[in-house]
Each structure stands twice: as C-alpha cells, then as structure tokens.
C-alpha cells in the first residue's frame, strides 16, 4: 500500500479531497498564489475583492503552514525545494488505458477494465491489468466494441477493491495515455467515488505528441500509429493490449524527440504548447475593402 507522505519526485500524487484548507495547501505546493486566485480557482467562490479576501483570511489566517505578504500573495511557510530537472530517459512513466461503459463519467459511466504499463529507461518494465465490475449494465454497443460483457465482469472486483493496486501503479510516475483526458477523467472519477482521493500530476498525451512529431500522417489514432511504426495490437479496445501498444509508441516518440534534441519534460511541454504560425494575409489595396 502507498506511503502517502512519500516524495513523488514530480510524478502523480493522490490526495484526500476533503477540506478546503488541504486543497489550498496542496495548490500552494506548486507556487505562490494571490488571495483572489485562491478564492476563485481553489475555493470556487467569486465576488467583490474584499469579500473574497475575508473568506481566504478566515480560512488561512491561523494556519501555520502558510504565510502572506503585504500584496496578498500566499505561499508555504516552508517552501518545497524545486524538483531537479531529469531527462526523459530518467523519468518514470505509467501508460494507462481504461475500458468503460460509455464516454462520460459525469453521466454515470464506469470503468470495466484498467491497465497500467510501466516505462523506465526507455523500455517496458512491468504491467498490470484487471477487469472491473462497473456495478451497472454494459450497453450492447460497447460490448461489441470491446468484447467485454456483463458476464465477464460479474465476478470481477468493483473499483474500490482494485483501487489500492491502481494507486501503486500510478503514484510517482508521469501519467500517459492515448487521448489522455479520457482515461484521466475516468480514473479521477473512480478514485473520488471509491476512496475520496483527488489525482494531480503531470500528464502526457501521445495523440498530441504524435500530432507535433508526425504532422504528415492523415490520422493519429492508435491503430494508424501502430501501423506506421509496425506495432502489433493483439486485441484492439482491450485495456492491456492498447496500453502496451501505447507504451511502445511512447518509446518510439521519445526516439524522435531525442533526434530533435528535446530531452526533458520542460522541452516536451514547450513543444506541445507551441502553436503553428498562422499564414500571413496578403495586404489588399484600400479600395478593395468594399469589394
């Protein structure tokens, strides 16, 4: 089981989603925040600045773990030392894939299968996969896509029983998935529902990375990229096979990044944030404006 006080080295962390105070302290661990920012983004309240300040000071005024300066900037009283940059090859990665009963956890859809594949030092080092009882029916359309039926998950453990194993797989590693928002959103929902934990940490989307590195491809679906790199996916839309293929894809993309001298997380993040320059519009004579 996880030691919750263990240093994760910049990888994924799970926190109890309980008190507002703990949420603020967790947010300040990433850097100082202004009073208004704490009120609006952490506490989720808006209004007149004096009222916001009063709410924040009521919550944090006697808390010894935080300090505030004359400009209303809050920070931790004992700052967390900055994480030393590591090369991509030195990072610990966990490639995740989930199969679900549908596309929206906010509508009650649940996880039916979860897989995690560890990537370290440029190779796959371990893997984990389990079916999950979603405690609801699986639509026939989803069963025809994934091959996972109600009968298959009837004897599987519910997510709350596999959550400790999933936590061990995730914590301290960079979370990777093909279309990462989907898998992240479902696991966040399941963690909150079953244990009251909130997930936070770095995420890497192999779809976005492939778009930057392989802009000439007509599709960056997992199947298309597997064909491009000659990767075999034994059972498409099953969590473990998709996660293994995504991990193999990640390693290929890291090789391409190295060729571009992109060797650490900051450089990867910069590449993903970089926008394509817009084509310049040719200037027209003023008399053409009304044409």
Query: Which sequence positions are flagged as catalytic?
Result: 237
Query: Under a CB-based contact definition with an 8 Å cutoff, are residues 249 and 222 in contact?
Result: yes
Q: Which of 74, 69, 92 is nearest to 27 (CA)?
A: 74
* 239-259 and 222-229 helices, crossing angle to 10°: 60
User: Which two tokens mark 18?
Assistant: 């309980």
Give me the sign of the Cα torsion angle 218, 222, 223, 226.
Answer: positive
What b/e readout covers 76-109, taking b as 16+ CB neighbours within 10 angstroms? eeeeeeeeeeeebeebbbbbbbbbbbeeebeeeb
Q: Assign 3-state DSSP to the chain and report helix, strand, coil percentages, each to 5.
A: 40, 20, 40
Opening angle at CA 221, ends 220 and 224, nearest 5? 80
Q: Exposed (0-12), middle (13-18) or buried (19+): which is 55, by Cβ within 10 Å?
A: middle
Tally of residues, the chain? 291
Separation CA 286–CA 114 (nearest Å)? 61
User: Which two tokens mark 24?
Assistant: 């603020």
């Amino acid at each position: 089981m996880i030691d919750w006080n263990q240093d994760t080295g910049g990888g994924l962390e799970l926190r109890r989603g309980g008190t507002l105070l703990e949420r603020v302290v967790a947010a300040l661990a990433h850097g100082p925040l202004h009073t208004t920012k704490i009120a609006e983004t952490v506490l989720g309240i808006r209004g007149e600045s004096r009222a916001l300040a009063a709410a924040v000071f009521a919550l944090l005024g006697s808390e010894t773990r935080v300090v505030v300066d004359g400009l209303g900037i809050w920070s931790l009283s004992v700052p967390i030392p900055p994480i030393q940059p590591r090369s991509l090859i030195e990072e610990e990665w966990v490639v995740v894939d989930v199969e679900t009963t549908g596309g929206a956890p906010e509508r009650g859809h649940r996880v039916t299968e979860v897989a995690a594949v560890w990537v370290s030092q440029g190779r796959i080092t371990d893997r984990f996969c389990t079916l999950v009882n979603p405690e609801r029916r699986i639509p026939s359309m989803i069963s025809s896509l994934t091959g996972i039926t109600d009968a298959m998950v009837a004897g599987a453990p519910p997510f709350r029983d596999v959550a400790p194993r999933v936590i061990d797989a995730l914590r301290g590693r960079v979370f990777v998935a093909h279309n990462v928002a989907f898998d992240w959103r479902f696991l966040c929902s399941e963690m909150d529902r079953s244990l009251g934990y909130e997930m936070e940490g770095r995420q890497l989307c192999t779809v976005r990375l492939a778009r930057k590195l392989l802009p000439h491809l007509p599709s960056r679906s997992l199947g298309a990229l597997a064909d491009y790199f000659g990767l075999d996916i034994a059972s498409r839309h099953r969590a473990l096979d998709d996660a293994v293929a995504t991990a193999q894809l990640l390693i290929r993309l890291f090789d391409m990044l190295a060729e571009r001298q992109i060797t650490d997380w900051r450089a990867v993040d910069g590449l993903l944030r970089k926008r394509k320059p817009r084509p310049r519009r040719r200037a027209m004579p003023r008399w053409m404006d009304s044409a």
